[in-house]
Amino acid sequence: MINCEMGAEGAIVDGVKTIDDVKEVSGVFGNYDIIIKVECSDIEDLRDIITRKIRHLDQVKCTTTLMCAN
């Protein structure tokens, strides 16, 4: 889940869509601005996607991660 600067949602959605392991992206209303579904093989890949790809996008204020184990 991403919080971003006001008005930056479209640019962030476009940037996130270029990340290979991102499967779904949705703009939402409420406590968060964007929700992303990521599928990857291990925790290290997830950490890399969050810290080096998503959080480095311009105007991302913060992220919150929820993990599902199937």
Q: What pLDDT, in 10s, does the model give residues 11-64?
A: 999 999 999 999 999 999 999 999 999 999 889 999 999 999 999 999 999 999
pLDDT of residue 69: 74
Residues in the chain, total: 70
- Quick one: pLDDT band at residue 65, thresholds 50, 70, 90? very high
pLDDT of residue 68: 83
Residue located via tokens 């990340």? 19
Pair of tokens at residue 12 = 């962030």
pLDDT of residue 29: 94
Among candidate residues 15, 27, 26, 25, the one with its CA nearest the CA of residue 52: 15
pTM: 0.88
H or E, element range at 51: none
